[in-house]
């Protein structure tokens, strides 16, 4: 057995990677990080049966994960900051700036090039499945959805893509425009979505939403209560609407920031409703900390993230995801799920917990979205991320820029695309 050159693996029909560490639940074993060996043959993980023809490599205790699932992104918005920065860093500043940029600039070529750039970043970082929300207010759906379908075909076999329609809840109604959008989503194999916020007739609109989704056999994904206003309580309305309508599809709710500012008993009762309705919750800690409780000249008091520990304690699947990348909603980000894991651990205090949270970046998002389950079991594809770290503190102390990403058992070229590729799209309109 020889020690590994971390940036390379030998070409061999059968490789046995010795002395790895992996989150115990991914191996069906108790414990936090547990020692394991992993054998790869013909692009898949196989049983660890010693054979004379296999090449053994000592991995030095490095941590291994299956490739990641990013369940909430906006690749249609990404990388417009250089031409349309957020003027004040607030949520409304982002909303208005993106709206202006979309109306002025979002041609098929513009959306495609920026979205493809984002996916190349995700690929290099070790992500194999992405759910993206697409701004779908007319007439943008006629541009972005065809581009998405082309990208899904282009990336087939590398990154599995899903899309969710994104409109305000007040767009949902008994109207031709709503029905037409739902048919676009259905024809694209997508997910029906909306942004919920307090409107007078939200129950009626949610009933229409779930009736439409149920009739078409679509799952649902909402942006919910993305505010620190405790009076924004549409998460409860969604949970009750699921029960009222008898909707049986998957329902995911992202953000849910106002739970963190509501009276404790009210917030926990809402989570009880969510558990009863079978919802999953996605937290976007990096973007929410950037936008929420921002008042220039004042230190933020709130983190903006939702009640992930309390949700998980109730059996609600909790997911963490990237959200926006270099656009007015978040000036940073690169669709790097290891960055999301690192920052979520720090922001949400996932450390010093009795539970392992790795599933929130892997199996939980896969289940919520219907993607193939990430696995280290024999028979699974050898789509893997191996980090130069032997413990969680080593993993999160550095950005892991030298991680190794394997697809079908072979190390990929992890060169990131150059931002200069998009320079011509950043010129003034």
On the CB side of 145, how many CA atoms lie within 13 Å of its CA?
A: 23
In this structure, the number of other CB atoms found within 10 A of the CB of residue 425 comes to: 17
What sign does the CA torsion over 98, 101, 105, 110 have? Answer: negative
Q: Which of 41, 54, 141, 226 is catalytic?
A: 226
Q: What are phi and psi of 11, to 5 degrees?
A: -75, 115
Nearest 5°: the CA angle 315, 317, 322 is 150
Residues 57 and 302: their CA atoms lie apart, in Å, by: 47
- Within 13 Å, how many C-alpha atoms sit on residue 57's CB side? 20
Q: Are strands 14-23 and 33-41 parallel, antiparallel or unpaired?
A: antiparallel
421 is catalytic: no
Name the residue with tokens 């049983």.
Answer: 47
Tell which residue, 257, 193, 244, 240, has the closest CA to residue 220.
193
Residue 302 to residue 262: CA distance in whole angstroms: 12
Residues labelled as active-site residues: 226
């Amino acid at each position: 057995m020889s020690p590994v050159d971390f940036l390379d693996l030998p070409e061999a029909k059968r490789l046995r990677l010795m002395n790895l560490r992996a989150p115990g639940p991914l191996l069906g074993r108790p414990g936090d990080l547990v020692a394991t060996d992993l054998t790869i043959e013909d692009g898949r993980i196989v049983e660890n049966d010693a054979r004379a023809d296999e090449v053994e490599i000592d991995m030095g205790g490095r941590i291994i994960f299956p490739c990641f699932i990013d369940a909430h992104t906006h690749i249609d918005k990404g990388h417009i900051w250089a031409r349309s920065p957020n003027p004040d860093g607030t949520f409304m500043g982002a909303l208005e700036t993106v709206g202006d940029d979309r109306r002025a600039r979002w041609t098929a070529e513009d959306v495609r090039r920026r979205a493809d750039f984002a996916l190349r970043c995700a690929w290099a970082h070790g992500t194999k499945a992405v759910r993206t929300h697409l701004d779908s207010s007319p007439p943008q759906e006629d541009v972005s959805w065809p581009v998405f379908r082309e990208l899904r075909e282009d990336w087939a076999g590398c990154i599995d893509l899903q899309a969710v329609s994104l409109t305000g809840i007040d767009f949902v109604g008994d109207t031709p425009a709503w029905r037409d959008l739902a048919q676009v989503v259905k024809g694209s194999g997508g997910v029906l979505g909306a942004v919920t916020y307090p409107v007078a007739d939200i129950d009626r609109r949610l009933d229409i939403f779930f009736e439409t989704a149920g009739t078409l056999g679509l799952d649902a994904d909402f942006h919910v209560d993305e505010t620190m206003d405790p009076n924004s309580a549409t998460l409860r309305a969604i949970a009750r609407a699921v029960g009222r309508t008898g909707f049986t599809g998957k329902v995911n709710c992202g953000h849910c920031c106002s739970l963190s500012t509501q009276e404790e008993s009210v917030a926990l009762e809402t989570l009880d409703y969510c558990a009863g309705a079978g919802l999953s919750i996605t937290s976007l800690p990096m973007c929410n900390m950037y936008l929420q409780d921002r008042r220039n000249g004042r230190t933020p008091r709130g983190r903006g993230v939702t009640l992930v520990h309390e949700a998980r304690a109730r059996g609600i699947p909790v997911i963490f995801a990237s959200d926006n990348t270099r656009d007015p909603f978040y000036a940073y980000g690169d669709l790097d799920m290891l960055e999301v894991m690192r920052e979520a651990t720090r922001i949400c205090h996932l450390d010093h917990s009795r539970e392992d949270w790795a599933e929130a970046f892997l199996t939980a998002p896969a289940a919520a979205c219907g993607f193939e389950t990430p696995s280290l079991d024999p028979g699974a594809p050898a789509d893997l991320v191996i980090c130069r770290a032997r413990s969680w503190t080593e993993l999160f102390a550095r950005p892991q820029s030298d991680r190794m990403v394997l697809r079908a058992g072979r190390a990929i070229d992890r060169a990131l695309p150059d931002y200069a590729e998009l320079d011509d799209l950043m010129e003034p309109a």
